Structure 1
Amino acid sequence: MALINLRPWREEQKAARQKQFVTNVAGAAIFAAVVVLGIGYYFDVQTERQQKRNQYLKVETAKLDRLRKDINDLKEKRGRLLDRLQAIHELQGNRPVIVRNFDELVRVLPDGIHYTSLTRRESVVSVTGLAKDNLEVSTLMRNLDQSHWFGEPNLSQVDSKQGLKNFRLTVKLEKPQAEAEE
């Protein structure tokens, strides 16, 4: 006897394959969506981390810029303080020189001459005085020229008043070599 299968097995097999195909396609679509969402999430996390790093670098750069500005301000203050310190040292160093200059002005003064005015501007001293005759003025100029503390004098005016010679001369201040080396 022949067995006849009345069930539509081919249609059932076809429906099962189609169901399997749809299940596979849906699974692949779900897997692809999960992979795409996972990759998107990974990139979002990486982007957020990089933005946090960039923000941290901006904050640290701003701190460094402030520190650099502070350092530049401190360098500027240091320069000003060093300039002031140098000026103070020069004043302290020149204090004995001024005393020596006055002392030397008295030493070179010949008899018969009187100073009426002494003015100093930078490194030049202007001397105004009275003398009995021109010989005493020339002696004063020779004495100033021979002094280690003064340069060559320059006589600018000689007037006669009531038998006295009124004179004005300028002389440059100099430091002796031994003093300059110290």
Structure 2
Amino acid sequence: MILINLLPHREERRKRRKAAYFAGLGLAAGAGLAVVAAWYLILQQMTSIQQERNAFLTTEIRKLEVQIKDIATLRAEIESLKARQKAVEDLQIDRNVPVHVLNELVKQTPEGVYFTTVKQDGQTLSVSGVAQTNERVSEFLRNTANSSEWLVKPELVEIKASSGVTANRERKRLFDFSVRLSVKRPQDVTAEAAGPAAAASAPAAKPAKKA
């Protein structure tokens, strides 16, 4: 017996295909929304983690800034203490300089030269006095320039003729003069003394042997 389907099967098939198509679209849309939602949640979590890191870094940076300020204050205090210590050390080193200067003046001053004023300002020594002749002043300049341990760089500021009265009331021609000198620091004198000693203690070079 032959059965004949008189129903509109093509329309039914078309409807099934359309329903399957829309179902696929719905599934794709649902999957897309799920992916977007998952990615959004991941981004939110990453943003929250990064914000926490930023907050932690900000807190640590503030702590470091406070520490840096404290370090800068400590450095300033250390530099101030070093400056004070150096000033005290310089005073201790220089306390015997006037004694050495007076000894040098006694040693390097020739006969016929008399000092009226001696003034030291830092490393500069100014002396004024009276000399019997110009040659006496020149000799004093040579002595301090060539053979003085503490006085260097003598400079004649002024010399002029004047009339003086001797002990027996006789008028005698004298010369008023002013000289400026530089005073060495004790460490400079020590360094200069150590230089020749080190050179003398160094072993002499052996002569080369002839072939």
Same fold (TM over 0.5): yes
Q: Which blocks of at least 5 consecutive residues in structure 1 are unaligned?
A: 1-24
2:101 & 2:26 partners in 1: Cα distance?
A: 109
1:126-182 Cα shifts (integer Å, max 9, x gaps) = 111234x11784386155343322225333213313347322122232368752357
> Which residue identity does 1:173 align to in structure 2?
V
Q: Secondary structure at the match of 1:167?
A: strand
- Report what 1:172 is aligned to: 182
Coordinate RMSD, CA, aligned: 4.5
Per the TM alignment, residue 118 of structure 1 is displaced from its structure 2 partner at its CA by 1.4
- Report what 1:138 is aligned to: 137
So what's the TM-score if we normalise by structure 1? 0.63
2:29 & 2:61 partners in 1: Cα distance?
A: 47
- Report what 2:155 is aligned to: 154
Q: Which blocks of at least 5 consecutive residues in structure 2 are unaligned?
A: 1-24, 167-173, 195-211
- Equivalent pair of 2:104/2:149 in contact (CA under 8 Å): no
1:101 & 1:168 partners in 2: Cα distance?
A: 17
2:92 & 2:58 partners in 1: Cα distance?
A: 50
- Equivalent pair of 1:144/1:153 in contact (CA under 8 Å): yes
Alignment of 1:26-45 (within 5 A): 37=37, 39-45=39-45
2:29 & 2:185 partners in 1: Cα distance?
A: 99
2:130 & 2:103 partners in 1: Cα distance?
A: 19
> Which residue identity does 2:190 align to in structure 1?
E
- Equivalent pair of 2:149/2:189 in contact (CA under 8 Å): no
**Aligned residue pairs: how many?**
180
Q: Whose helix fraction is larger, Structure 1's or Structure 2's?
A: 1
- Report what 1:127 is aligned to: 127
- Equivalent pair of 2:111/2:136 in contact (CA under 8 Å): no
- Equivalent pair of 2:94/2:185 in contact (CA under 8 Å): no
2:80 & 2:153 partners in 1: Cα distance?
A: 36
